[in-house]
Amino acid sequence: MTTTVRPAAPHLLTLVMAAAIGPLAMNVFLPSLPGMARHFESDYAVMQLAVSFYLAATAALQLLIGPASDRFGRRPVMLACIGVFLVGTIAAVYAPTVEVLLLCRLLQAFSSAGMVISRAVVRDTVDTTAAASQIGYITMGMSVVPMVGPMIGGLLDELFGWQAGFWLTLAFGMVAFAIVLVDLRETNLFRSDSFAAQFRAYPALLGSGRFWAYALTASFSAGAFFAFLGGGPYVATEMLALSPSQYGLYFGIVSVGYMFGNFLSGRFSQIVGINRMMLAGNLIAVAGMVLALALFALDFHHPLSLFGPVFFTGVGNGLTLPSANAGVVSVKPHLAGSASGLGGALQIGIGAAVSVLAGALITPLSGPSPLLLVMLASSVAAVATTLYLMHIAEVEDAVR
């Protein structure tokens, strides 16, 4: 009997720090969006592109980052991408116009290497079931950042202006770069022969029903959360009259839910199984949106009518995403980097589209219902793709 030799894994803290850079860059400035729109004398819909452009760039870059890490190694690609992120963050602080700021956000999207490569590193060092557990713990630790990020970002905005959030992001990125530099050894022991070979591997992934089911489950599950990122600040500030710091405080409820779901995933995914874990998470997210719609329909216009039910979206994401992402990188283990990149691109791409849709549908006269309905539709779609995956598994088991 042969034993698979796996490379030494870095500390979980290293992967948590690397993976957390992107969520911090995404979330820390959300309370500042309405104020930034006023600063740049821009419509909120244009300012919201700082979210959707960032997501779209993240999706596109993951198509390159994953294969690059398969070809050149996890460590050098991770360090190079964090370096580009740091340059974009410094430039954002001094952006003279909203157009320049949006360009800087595209550079900040290189932070997506943190999550893409962390998932690949985990798959390099452990098997599938252990990967779901480790990814759960990584995202649990990572979720502390988006939990406290908007709170601190909102407070910094009120004290020092919107640029302060970007300074905070820069400092965090510099610390993460140093930790990765010291602790992350190369885990890709079998690099591909050429960069082009990794792109030629995409048809093998795209032809797999399991890959599509895992990737779309992750995409639609995360889509509900991204919709909230796109429309939630407007609902909170313009309809519920929250200040930036109050928005950041209430946003912590969502992040606590995500952390709790991640903890449950890390604790029970090896016992329950990743498919059932995904189904449970998506059903919880659906229930949360039904509750939110009911509360507003009954004229309960309170911040907790929004953030309370979205807590369950956070729990659902925390349960679903570690298992779905572990499934994505395990369909073709020798293509873990490419699979992580392609799956992440689909996830962020769909999330960006849902975010734009949610932001576009909300108007001063619409109330929060368009946002909640978009989130509900995305969660229902995640349930459907999970059930499809379970059907595929049953058919394949029957054939065996």
Do the Cβ atoms of 247 and 31 come closer than 8 Å?
Answer: yes
pLDDT at 128: 62
Do the Cβ atoms of 65 and 116 come closer than 8 Å?
Answer: yes
Encoded tokens for 167: 């300074």
Do the Cβ atoms of 221 and 281 come closer than 8 Å?
Answer: yes
Do the Cβ atoms of 286 and 191 come closer than 8 Å?
Answer: no
Q: Is it the case that residue 263 has pLDDT exceeding 90?
A: no
pLDDT digits (tens, 9 = 90+) for 85-106: 999 999 999 989 888 998 999 9
Mean local confidence (pLDDT), 63-68: 82
pTM flag (> 0.95): no
28 or 84: which leads in pLDDT? 84
**Fold designation for 12-185+196-399:** Growth Hormone; Chain: A; (1.20.1250)
pLDDT at 197: 64
pLDDT digits (tens, 9 = 90+) for 70-85: 888 889 999 999 999 9
Do the Cβ atoms of 315 and 284 come closer than 8 Å?
Answer: yes
144 or 169: which leads in pLDDT? 169
Distance of CA 294 to CAs 99, 238, 288, 289, Å?
A: 40, 21, 10, 9
Handedness of CA 110, 143, 218, 53 (dihedral sign): negative
370 or 356: which leads in pLDDT? 370
With cut-offs at 50, 70 and 90, classify the pLDDT of residue 2. Answer: very low
With cut-offs at 50, 70 and 90, classify the pLDDT of residue 361. Answer: confident
Question: How does the average pLDDT of the chain come out, rounded?
Answer: 84
Encoded tokens for 172: 């965090």
Q: Among 120, 127, 227, 164, which residue's Cα sits nearest to residue 32?
A: 164
pLDDT at 336: 67
DSSP-assigned letter for residue 261: H
Q: Is it the case that residue 1 has pLDDT exceeding 50?
A: no
pLDDT at 322: 84
Question: How close are the terminal C-alpha atoms of the chain, in Å?
Answer: 23
Quote the CA–CA distance of 320 and 314 in Å, as a whole number.
10
Q: Is it the case that residue 181 has pLDDT exceeding 90?
A: yes
Residue ranges of the domains in the chain? 12-185+196-399
Encoded tokens for 194: 């050429």
pLDDT digits (tens, 9 = 90+) for 299-351: 898 999 999 999 999 999 989 988 888 888 777 766 666 777 788 778 878 88
Residues in the chain: 400
Q: Is 3 left (phi over 0), alpha (psi -120 to 50) or beta?
A: beta
Do the Cβ atoms of 342 and 215 come closer than 8 Å?
Answer: yes
pLDDT digits (tens, 9 = 90+) for 385-400: 999 999 887 777 666 5
Q: Is it the case that residue 363 has pLDDT exceeding 60?
A: yes
Q: What is the four-CA torsion angle of 217, 16, 310, 165, rounded to 10 degrees? A: -130
Quote the CA–CA distance of 355 and 378 in Å, as a whole number.
11
The torsion angles phi and psi of 342, rounded to 5 degrees, stand at -65, -45
The percent of residues above 70 in pLDDT, for the chain, comes to 89
Continuous segment of H or E residues that includes residue 44? helix 44-47
DSSP-assigned letter for residue 313: H
pLDDT at 171: 95
